């Protein structure tokens, strides 16, 4: 049963919101000690909210799109009265003083927020190992990283601790853990989802977005949270509609033109490429036309992304000076956050000569032009999401090896285009993800493709 069907059961009172929430709370109790996906859970409030929704349904009152569904939220998105720490000691005592726009919208649609989920410190990572609150285990491949930085939100879905969850994606932080945990994750076109209330990593690159176990869940969450937000300057006026888009998608492949970029497969492990190619063959059997393409600037993507990330992150962290709230960030943060602050500060100082940042912006334009040029001729690009399998917990990687996980995901952030990840198969039981990237504002088309692919057996 998919998430939209489940939400209908709740609305018809065939399943109560209370039963739904209680069963997830039980799973969290049983599994969270080991997995560490959730950082804070408010049981009593969730139960009270569920009871209220059930009462309204019984009385025949209209309830929202997310009525009775259980939701986890990455702990860098403000929720009133939850600790919003961004998994850093800097903010370990910061109590959310307001709701981010996406949280207001979830509440308006009667979604039930169970709690906050684990992540890399300030979302700066690809493994969830840099959290001040300990690592998250991968429920689909125990003993390995869940990916990151939204590792807790992906693991919560994989471990069936909630129906839906939210993450943030600056350079892949939704798609990467979705890939490693074998679930679905989606980053929208820049500006489609309000960033208001998100603790920034790098504001020109990031979007809040959903995780789910099926495409209907991705569509339902987006349908609830997208839309213009007058409180946020990067928010777009006209946003796509997601209502009902995953229904009747069995023939979606017919007439679709899918681009396969050779270089995206060349950088990936052979076994990962093979699994994704097999899926593409299936899509072709179902009526899609597949064309081979070439992308010139793959080598530029990681340096360009990280340079911009360092500079924007450095600027975003200046408010954590210990005066207004929290501790002074440099005094308590972990190595990766400190590295970004130092390099970001250095680059900003050198900027009068346009030495680095200006060059990175030029490279960003080239990358954007190249990828949107490729997309002009096709409906979507299909590739692996992450070029290698998740490493074992406890294995230590040097920063460049950690960054290498992101080579296929940062492009969508640099270009502001929509991209989703879903499971393509497994290697020795470890999930492998497939990424779909599309034209700006073609978000719904990508999710429909994901709905089509999930029907392939
Ligand atoms: N791994 C990337 C980084 O460390 C992406 C992080 C993210 O998307 N939040 O910056």
Please report the atom of ligand 1 found closest to the CA of residue 405. 1
pLDDT value, residue 457: 72
Q: Are the C-beta atoms of residues 444 and 247 closer than 8 Å to each other?
A: no
Any residues with CB less than 8 A from the CB of 273 and at least 6 apart, and which?
265, 384
Residue 113 is inside which H or E element, if any?
Answer: strand 112-117
Distance 457 CA to ligand 1 centre (A): 32
Rounded CA separation 1/12 (Å): 15
pLDDT digits (tens, 9 = 90+) for 288-319: 999 999 999 999 999 999 999 999 999 999 99
258-266 mean pLDDT? 98
Predicted confidence (pLDDT) per residue in 395-442, tens digit: 999 999 999 999 999 999 999 999 999 999 999 999 999 999 999 999
3-state DSSP assignment of residue 78: coil
CA of 126 from ligand 1 middle (Å) equals 6
Which residue is closest in CA terms to ligand 1's atom 5?
171
Say if strands 112-117 and 38-41 run parallel, antiparallel, or are unpaired: antiparallel
- Lookup: tokens for 196: 């208001």
Q: Which two tokens stand for residue 284?
A: 């072709």
Question: What residue owns the CA closest to ligand 1's atom 10?
Answer: 124
How many residues are listed for the chain in this entry? Answer: 457
SS3 call for 15: coil
If we measure between CA atoms, which residue out of 403, 439, 409, 430 comes closest to residue 421?
A: 409
Instruction: Give CA–CA dist 408/395, Å, rounded.
Output: 22
For ligand 1, the distance from its centroid to the CA atom of residue 355, given in whole angstroms, is: 24
Residue of 207, 309, 421 with the most ligand 1 atoms within 8 Å of its CB, for mutation: 309
Residues in contact with ligand 1 by the CB-under-6-Å rule are 123-126, 149, 168-173, 201, 309, 406
Find the mean pLDDT for residues 93-110.
97
pLDDT at 324: 86
Q: What is the pLDDT of residues 120-166, one digit of tens each?
A: 999 999 999 999 999 999 999 999 999 999 999 999 999 999 999 99
pLDDT above 70 covers what percent of the chain? 100
Most ligand 1 atoms within 8 A of CB, residue of 119, 148, 397 to mutate: 148
- Span 1-457 CATH architecture: Alpha-Beta Complex (3.90)
The rounded Cα 277 to chain-centroid distance in angstroms is: 24
Share of the chain above pLDDT 90, in %: 97
Q: What is the pLDDT of residue 118?
A: 99
Q: How far is the CA of 149 from the centre of ligand 1 (A)?
A: 6
Positive or negative CA dihedral for 387, 439, 192, 450? negative
Residue 354 has pLDDT above 90, yes or no: no
Structure tokens at 249: 């998608």
pLDDT tens digits along 90-100: 999 999 999 99
Taking CA atoms only, the protein residue closest to ligand 1 atom 4 is 125
* Three-state SS at 123: helix
Q: Are strands 38-41 and 419-427 parallel, antiparallel or unpaired?
A: unpaired
Q: Which ligand 1 atom minimizes the distance to the CA of 403?
A: 1
Both tokens assigned to 319: 């408010």
Give Cα separations from 6 to 66, 80, 220, 258, 384 (angstroms).
Answer: 10, 28, 11, 32, 30
Q: What confidence score (pLDDT) does residue 445 get?
A: 98
* CB atoms inside a 10 Å sphere around CB 285: 10
Q: Kindly report the average pLDDT of the chain as a whole number.
A: 97
- Given the CA of residue 172, which atom of ligand 1 is nearest to it? 8
Token code pair at residue 223:
């349908």
Write down the pLDDT at residue 351: 74
Pocket test for ligand 1, best of 86, 130, 150, 170 (most atoms within 8 A of CB): 170
Work out which ligand 1 atom sits closest to the CA atom of 174.
Answer: 8
Q: Is the pLDDT of residue 350 over 90?
A: no
For the CA of 309, the nearest atom of ligand 1: 10
Mutation probe of ligand 1 site: the residue of 172, 314, 399 with most atoms within 8 A of C-beta: 172
Catalytic residues: 74, 149, 173
3-state secondary structure of 383: strand
pTM for the structure as a whole: 0.98
Distance from Cα 311 to the centre of ligand 1, integer Å: 14
Is residue 64 predicted with pLDDT exceeding 80? yes
3-state secondary structure of 14: coil
Average pLDDT for 380-405: 97
Q: Which two tokens stand for residue 29?
A: 């109790």
Q: For residue 305, give the ligand 1 atom closest to its CA.
A: 10
DSSP 306-335: HHHHHHHHHHHHTT-BSSSSS-BHHHH--H
Task: Return d(Cα 89, Cα 72) in angstroms, integer.
Answer: 21
> How remote is the CA of residue 419 from the centroid of ligand 1, in Å?
15
How far is Cα 457 from Cα 274, in angstroms, rounded to an integer?
17
Q: Which of helix, strand or coil describes residue 7?
A: helix
Find the angle CA(376)-CA(410)-CA(160) to the nearest 5 degrees. 105
Please give the average per-residue pLDDT across 10-23, as a whole number.
97
Report the relative pairing of strands 70-74 and 112-117 from DSSP bridges: parallel
| Residues forming a β-bridge with 291 | 259
Ligand 1 centroid to Cα of residue 306, in Å, is: 9
The mean pLDDT of 43-72, rounded to a whole number, is 98
Q: Is 90 exceeded by the pLDDT of residue 353?
A: no
CB contact at 8 A, 360 and 304: yes
């Amino acid at each position: 049963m998919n998430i939209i069907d489940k939400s209908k059961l709740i609305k018809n009172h065939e399943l109560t919101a209370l039963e739904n929430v209680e069963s997830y709370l039980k799973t969290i109790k049983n599994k969270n000690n080991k997995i560490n996906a959730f950082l804070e859970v408010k049981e009593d409030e969730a139960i009270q909210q569920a009871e209220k929704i059930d009462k309204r349904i019984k009385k025949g009152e209209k309830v929202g799109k997310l009525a009775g569904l259980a939701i986890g939220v990455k702990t860098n998105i403000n929720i009133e009265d939850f600790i919003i720490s961004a998994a850093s000691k800097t903010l370990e005592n910061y109590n959310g003083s307001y709701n981010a726009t996406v949280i207001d919208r979830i509440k308006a649609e009667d979604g039930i927020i169970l709690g906050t989920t684990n992540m890399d410190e300030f979302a700066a990572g690809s493994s969830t190992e840099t959290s001040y609150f300990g690592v998250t285990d991968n429920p689909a491949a125990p003993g390995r990283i869940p990916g990151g930085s939204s590792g807790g939100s992906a693991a919560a879905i994989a471990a069936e601790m909630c129906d839906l969850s939210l993450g943030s994606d600056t350079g892949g932080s939704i798609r990467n853990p979705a890939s490693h945990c074998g679930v679905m994750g989606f980053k929208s076109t820049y500006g489609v989802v309000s960033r208001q209330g998100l603790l920034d990593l790098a504001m020109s690159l990031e979007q809040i977005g959903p995780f789910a176990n099926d495409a209907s869940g991705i569509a339902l969450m987006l349908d609830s949270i997208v839309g213009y937000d007058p409180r946020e300057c990067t928010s777009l006026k006209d946003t796509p509609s997601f209502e009902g888009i995953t229904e009747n998608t069995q023939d979606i492949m017919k007439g679709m033109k899918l681009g396969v970029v050779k270089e995206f497969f060349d950088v990936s492990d052979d076994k990962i490429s093979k699994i994704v190619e097999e899926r593409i063959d299936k899509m072709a059997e179902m009526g899609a036309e597949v064309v081979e393409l070439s992308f010139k600037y793959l080598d530029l993507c990681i340096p360009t992304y990280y340079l911009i990330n360092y500079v924007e992150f450095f600027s975003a962290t200046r408010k954590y000076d210990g005066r207004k709230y929290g501790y002074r960030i440099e005094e308590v943060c972990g190595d990766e956050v400190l590295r970004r602050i130092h390099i970001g500060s250095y680059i900003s100082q050198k900027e009068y000569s346009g030495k680095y940042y200006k060059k990175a912006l030029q490279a960003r334009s080239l990358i954007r032009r190249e990828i949107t040029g490729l997309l002009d001729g096709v409906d979507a690009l299909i590739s692996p999401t992450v070029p290698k399998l998740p490493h074992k917990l406890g294995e230590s990687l040097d920063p460049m090896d950690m960054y290498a996980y992101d080579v296929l995901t940062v492009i969508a952030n640099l270009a502001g285009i929509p991209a989703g990840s879903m499971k393509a198969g497994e290697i020795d039981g470890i999930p492998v993800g497939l990424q779909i990237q599309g034209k700006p504002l073609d978000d719904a088309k990508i999710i429909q493709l994901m709905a089509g692919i999930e029907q392939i057996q």
